[in-house]
Structure 1
């Protein structure tokens, strides 16, 4: 009985984790997982081909610099990475809105499922790609995955959380700290209040991004692209329950 109740509890939690009914706690927990995964992806991309796949600000600056010095191959890789990131975010919007129109419980989970599947296939097969020009495959796949992830957590949180945009998180921490230390000298005026929970959340996400980076870098140096497989499996585990719920509902409707 205890085992069955625990299994049911775990199944219910996974159904809620990536399900359509959102709470701030569920959003924060999912964001923490995605920040960890993003850190792994980002560091693997850099160690493998010397390219940060989550940092579109840096990539656009790189494109400008390389245009000036005439390094057109690097310019092409940079443009390809930006296009791939945009394509990932666009794919997220298409998949999400397709599920939302059909009132699917897996409207968010389908995007996570796609990200997990891409990471799994890439982690298992990328080691076979050797030789010059492999960044033309690695960078687009990783940037597309980053775009998917950043877009889905943006959708889920109502644009309040992003897991790959550390610059934005650091900026938000600074804003909230400024509010926190502001001296409210006039009690008749609206008080300026800092959001301690927001500060804690962003600090947690940045920390997990760093931890993911350490895992990704050390893991890649030890076992190669296979370090992506555990993160991929986590995303698949998180996403499968809402999908099963939709499949079960559809089966019942056909009976």
Structure 2
């Protein structure tokens, strides 16, 4: 999921990455709506609110919403900055680093909310900003390493693409197109996972509160650990092959 970049990725890898990250994004977004009455996995609505607050002359509220939008932007910026600068050095580390930062952000929100949150306006504004930064990082990572074919924190463009593909599939020539079917599979997997994550978070939040963010962090951690495990296994297999080839290669005797 994390070792390959852009066009070298397979459909299976995009589905795996998209499904797990979308599940986490759905959890974060629904939980933030329940607790803070604010969307944190996308900024479409925030742009509308920003325009409304500016038109009303509510400059403090406008500044807060602008800061939220900027935090989402900053998350995307930081994620891609890490990837483009370190991808050639170590692809796995360059792709895992943004997810690690996302996990830290979510753990901070979960821990602060569970043990210190007093439901003040300033606390809410800061926690929402931190979640938007985390979702920006996730969105930037998935979009960057998949050549913009996987975006998992918002479904507006995804729903549009699914609508277009569905209309195209009314014609046989498009239904037989493997690349279009593969694209539809990725989009459907992301949409289903995002919805499932939201439903799961809505149910679980009633029992564990802010600790939902720990589960969201665990889902992201699975991606990192799974890839690390695969790398270790590949190295073990490769080392065994090298040893077997070494023993099988005949030693040339000197004349």
> What TM-score do you get using the length of structure 1 for normalisation?
0.79
Q: After TM superposition, give the deviation of residue 103 of structure 1 in Å.
A: 3.4
The 2-side partners of 1:192 and 1:218 are apart by 39
Q: After TM superposition, give the deviation of residue 55 of structure 1 in Å.
A: 2.5
Task: List runs of 5+ in structure 2 lacking aligned partners.
Answer: 236-255
CA deviation map 1:150-179 (0-9, x unaligned): 111101211011101201111101111222
Q: Is the 8 A contact 1:106 1:242 kept in 2?
A: no
Q: Is the 8 A contact 1:45 1:138 kept in 2?
A: no
Task: List runs of 5+ in structure 1 lacking aligned partners.
Answer: 1-16, 184-190, 250-255
Alignment of 1:29-108 (within 5 A): 29-108=16-95
Paired residue secondary structure (2:121): coil
CA deviation map 1:132-156 (0-9, x unaligned): 3222211110100110011111012
Residue in 1 that maps onto 2:240: none
Paired residue secondary structure (2:62): helix
1:137 aligns with 2:121: no
- Number of aligned pairs? 224
The 1-side partners of 2:189 and 2:143 are apart by 17
Paired residue secondary structure (1:133): helix
Choose 1 or 2 for highest CA Rg.
Answer: 2
The 1-side partners of 2:208 and 2:199 are apart by 14
Q: After TM superposition, give the deviation of residue 118 of structure 1 in Å.
A: 1.9
The 1-side partners of 2:216 and 2:156 are apart by 23
The 1-side partners of 2:26 and 2:92 are apart by 28
Alignment of 1:191-202 (within 5 A): 192=174, 195-202=180-187
Which of 202, 222, 225 aligns to 1:217? It is: 202
Change (3 A) 1:212 1:71: farther
1:236 aligns with 2:238: no
